[in-house]
């Protein structure tokens, strides 16, 4: 499964190179050619136990922050998936995370955040029999249930991985 949705109608993979499809904006997901069909028919849950976002201090300085549930429990982002078939008949499955406006804990760091779903809404999010997709679930998560802390500056490099990334350095 690839992060960065490749729409089913893509002619060749190079058509999506340079286009960021890792996130779908909640405000436009119903109208966007890349996301509207997956939003109607191919919604998914993207499990996580935390995520990072970077706060810009100035034009050259960014501080990563780690976000998680304050009780440490795992959660799920609202996601979309699609399947694309190349000219050789090989399938590629891909996904995107839906974002929305920031809640109170996220706003000092970034103006957007992933849509986090409550466990009670998982089945509804995945259900495809509703006439209209559950757009009411595309809202900021309650900030009181979340925690944020500065993270290690090395978190921005994909070569770095481990629990020490959660600690500010």
User: Quick check: 127 and 53 in contact, CB under 8 A?
Assistant: no
pLDDT of residue 20 exceeding 90:
no
Average pLDDT over residues 85-105: 93
pLDDT in tens, 109-163: 999 999 999 999 999 999 988 778 999 999 999 999 999 999 988 887 888 888 8
DSSP state of 167: S
pLDDT for residue 131: 78
User: Quick check: 46 and 77 in contact, CB under 8 A?
Assistant: yes
pLDDT of residue 97 exceeding 70:
yes
Q: Which domains does the chain have, with CATH numbers?
A: 2-166 (3.90.1680.10)
DSSP state of 15: G
This model's pTM is above 0.75: yes
Structure tokens at 6: 């490749």
- Strand locations in the chain, DSSP E? 2-3, 23-25, 43-48, 51-56, 62-69, 75-85, 91-101, 112-114, 116-117, 146-150
- Specify burial of residue 98 (Cβ count, 10 A radius: 0-12, 13-18, 19+): buried
């Amino acid at each position: 499964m690839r992060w960065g949705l490749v729409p089913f109608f893509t002619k060749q993979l190079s058509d999506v190179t340079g286009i960021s499809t890792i996130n779908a904006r909640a405000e436009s997901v119903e109208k966007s050619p890349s996301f509207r069909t997956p939003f109607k028919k191919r919604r998914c849950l993207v499990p996580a136990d935390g995520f990072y976002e970077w706060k810009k201090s100035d034009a050259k300085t960014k501080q990563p922050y780690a976000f998680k549930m304050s009780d440490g429990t795992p959660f799920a982002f609202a996601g979309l998936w699609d399947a694309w078939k190349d000219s050789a008949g090989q399938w590629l499955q891909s996904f995107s995370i839906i974002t929305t406006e920031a809640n109170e804990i996220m706003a000092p760091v970034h103006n957007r955040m992933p849509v986090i779903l409550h466990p009670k809404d998982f089945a509804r999010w995945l259900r495809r029999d509703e006439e209209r997709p559950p757009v009411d679930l595309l809202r900021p998560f309650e900030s009181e249930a979340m925690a944020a802390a500065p993270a290690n500056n090395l978190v921005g490099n994909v070569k770095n991985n481990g629990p020490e990334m959660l600690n500010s350095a």
